[in-house]
Structure 1
Protein backbone atom coordinates (compact mmCIF):
# COMPACT_ATOMS: atom_id res chain seq x y z
CA UNK A 1 0.00 0.00 0.00
CA UNK A 2 1.34 3.41 -0.96
CA UNK A 3 1.46 6.33 1.45
CA UNK A 4 -0.59 9.32 0.34
CA UNK A 5 1.46 12.16 -1.07
CA UNK A 6 0.71 15.48 0.61
CA UNK A 7 1.73 18.83 -0.82
CA UNK A 8 2.20 22.13 0.93
CA UNK A 9 -1.22 23.09 -0.41
CA UNK A 10 -2.90 20.05 1.14
CA UNK A 11 -1.05 20.68 4.42
CA UNK A 12 -2.45 24.20 4.56
CA UNK A 13 -5.90 22.78 3.78
CA UNK A 14 -5.47 20.33 6.67
CA UNK A 15 -4.47 23.19 8.97
CA UNK A 16 -7.57 25.16 7.92
CA UNK A 17 -5.53 27.92 6.29
CA UNK A 18 -5.81 29.46 2.83
CA UNK A 19 -3.92 27.04 0.61
CA UNK A 20 -3.26 28.79 -2.67
CA UNK A 21 0.38 29.47 -3.49
CA UNK A 22 0.16 33.22 -2.85
CA UNK A 23 -1.44 32.71 0.57
CA UNK A 24 1.23 30.19 1.52
CA UNK A 25 4.00 32.62 0.54
CA UNK A 26 2.32 35.38 2.54
CA UNK A 27 2.00 33.11 5.58
CA UNK A 28 5.66 32.10 5.39
CA UNK A 29 6.82 35.69 4.96
CA UNK A 30 4.75 36.94 7.89
CA UNK A 31 5.54 34.11 10.35
CA UNK A 32 9.32 33.80 10.73
CA UNK A 33 10.40 31.18 13.23
CA UNK A 34 13.58 31.33 15.30
CA UNK A 35 15.90 28.33 15.60
CA UNK A 36 15.03 27.76 19.26
CA UNK A 37 11.30 27.19 18.79
CA UNK A 38 9.89 23.86 17.71
CA UNK A 39 7.38 24.23 14.89
CA UNK A 40 4.36 22.95 16.89
CA UNK A 41 5.27 25.35 19.73
CA UNK A 42 5.15 28.46 17.52
CA UNK A 43 2.78 31.07 18.96
CA UNK A 44 0.82 31.52 15.74
CA UNK A 45 -0.84 28.08 15.74
CA UNK A 46 -4.21 27.38 17.29
CA UNK A 47 -4.21 24.55 19.85
CA UNK A 48 -5.73 22.13 17.32
CA UNK A 49 -3.17 23.07 14.64
CA UNK A 50 -0.31 22.61 17.12
CA UNK A 51 -1.72 19.24 18.20
CA UNK A 52 -1.96 18.08 14.59
CA UNK A 53 1.63 19.12 13.83
CA UNK A 54 2.98 17.58 17.04
CA UNK A 55 1.11 14.30 16.50
CA UNK A 56 2.07 14.04 12.82
CA UNK A 57 5.75 14.59 13.58
CA UNK A 58 5.79 12.31 16.64
CA UNK A 59 4.20 9.47 14.67
CA UNK A 60 6.27 10.14 11.55
CA UNK A 61 3.02 10.22 9.59
CA UNK A 62 2.67 10.80 5.88
CA UNK A 63 2.30 14.51 6.74
CA UNK A 64 5.88 14.68 8.05
CA UNK A 65 7.47 15.59 4.71
CA UNK A 66 5.41 18.75 4.03
CA UNK A 67 5.59 19.69 7.72
CA UNK A 68 9.39 19.46 7.62
CA UNK A 69 9.38 21.54 4.44
CA UNK A 70 7.20 24.19 6.10
CA UNK A 71 9.56 24.22 9.08
CA UNK A 72 12.52 24.93 6.77
CA UNK A 73 10.60 27.62 4.90
CA UNK A 74 9.68 29.47 8.13
CA UNK A 75 13.30 29.52 9.32
CA UNK A 76 14.82 31.27 6.29
Structure 2
Protein backbone atom coordinates (compact mmCIF):
# COMPACT_ATOMS: atom_id res chain seq x y z
CA UNK A 1 0.00 0.00 0.00
CA UNK A 2 1.34 3.43 -0.94
CA UNK A 3 1.52 6.05 1.80
CA UNK A 4 -0.21 9.38 1.34
CA UNK A 5 1.87 12.48 1.82
CA UNK A 6 -0.21 15.28 3.28
CA UNK A 7 0.58 18.95 3.01
CA UNK A 8 0.92 21.34 5.92
CA UNK A 9 -2.11 23.23 4.62
CA UNK A 10 -4.18 20.03 4.68
CA UNK A 11 -3.39 19.54 8.37
CA UNK A 12 -4.47 23.10 9.12
CA UNK A 13 -7.70 22.50 7.20
CA UNK A 14 -8.29 19.28 9.19
CA UNK A 15 -7.80 21.31 12.37
CA UNK A 16 -10.36 23.89 11.20
CA UNK A 17 -7.71 26.61 10.96
CA UNK A 18 -6.90 28.98 8.11
CA UNK A 19 -4.91 26.86 5.67
CA UNK A 20 -3.50 29.56 3.40
CA UNK A 21 0.19 30.52 3.76
CA UNK A 22 -0.58 33.77 5.60
CA UNK A 23 -2.96 32.05 8.03
CA UNK A 24 -0.44 29.31 8.75
CA UNK A 25 2.35 31.83 9.34
CA UNK A 26 0.14 33.90 11.64
CA UNK A 27 -0.83 30.84 13.69
CA UNK A 28 2.77 29.73 14.09
CA UNK A 29 3.93 33.24 15.04
CA UNK A 30 1.10 33.63 17.54
CA UNK A 31 1.74 30.31 19.30
CA UNK A 32 5.53 30.02 19.16
CA UNK A 33 7.67 29.10 20.83
CA UNK A 34 5.94 26.13 22.41
CA UNK A 35 7.71 25.08 25.59
CA UNK A 36 9.80 21.93 25.32
CA UNK A 37 7.98 20.41 28.30
CA UNK A 38 4.53 20.67 26.64
CA UNK A 39 3.41 17.91 24.27
CA UNK A 40 2.02 19.28 21.02
CA UNK A 41 -1.50 17.93 21.60
CA UNK A 42 -1.52 19.33 25.14
CA UNK A 43 -0.76 22.91 24.15
CA UNK A 44 -3.34 25.27 25.68
CA UNK A 45 -4.40 26.83 22.39
CA UNK A 46 -6.04 23.71 20.94
CA UNK A 47 -9.72 22.97 21.31
CA UNK A 48 -10.47 19.51 22.73
CA UNK A 49 -11.36 18.30 19.24
CA UNK A 50 -8.12 19.63 17.74
CA UNK A 51 -6.04 18.04 20.50
CA UNK A 52 -7.77 14.71 19.94
CA UNK A 53 -7.16 14.89 16.21
CA UNK A 54 -3.45 15.54 16.75
CA UNK A 55 -3.12 12.68 19.24
CA UNK A 56 -4.94 10.27 16.95
CA UNK A 57 -2.88 11.27 13.92
CA UNK A 58 0.34 10.54 15.77
CA UNK A 59 -0.86 7.29 17.32
CA UNK A 60 -2.74 5.55 14.56
CA UNK A 61 -2.21 7.23 11.21
CA UNK A 62 1.35 7.19 9.95
CA UNK A 63 0.23 9.09 6.84
CA UNK A 64 -0.33 12.21 8.94
CA UNK A 65 2.49 11.72 11.46
CA UNK A 66 5.12 13.43 9.30
CA UNK A 67 3.12 16.63 8.85
CA UNK A 68 2.12 16.66 12.54
CA UNK A 69 5.83 16.40 13.36
CA UNK A 70 6.46 19.34 11.03
CA UNK A 71 3.89 21.39 12.93
CA UNK A 72 5.49 20.41 16.22
CA UNK A 73 8.91 21.53 14.97
CA UNK A 74 7.54 24.78 13.54
CA UNK A 75 5.91 25.70 16.85
CA UNK A 76 9.11 25.03 18.76
CA UNK A 77 11.38 26.91 16.37
Cα drift, residue 61 of structure 1: 2.5
TM-score under structure 2 length normalisation: 0.93
**C-alpha RMSD of the superposition:** 0.9
**Superposed structure 1 runs of 4+ greater than 4 Å apart:** none
After superposition, where does 1:23-62 map in structure 2 within 5 Å? 23-32=23-32, 33-62=34-63
TM-score, normalised by the number of residues in structure 1: 0.94
Q: Which runs of 5 or more residues in structure 1 are unaligned?
A: none
Q: Give, in whole Å, the separation in 1 of the partners of 2:8 and 2:17.
A: 11
Q: How far apart, CA to CA, are the structure 2 residues paired with 1:61 and 1:51? A: 15
Would you say how many aligned residue pairs link Structure 1 and Structure 2?
Answer: 76
More helix by share: 2
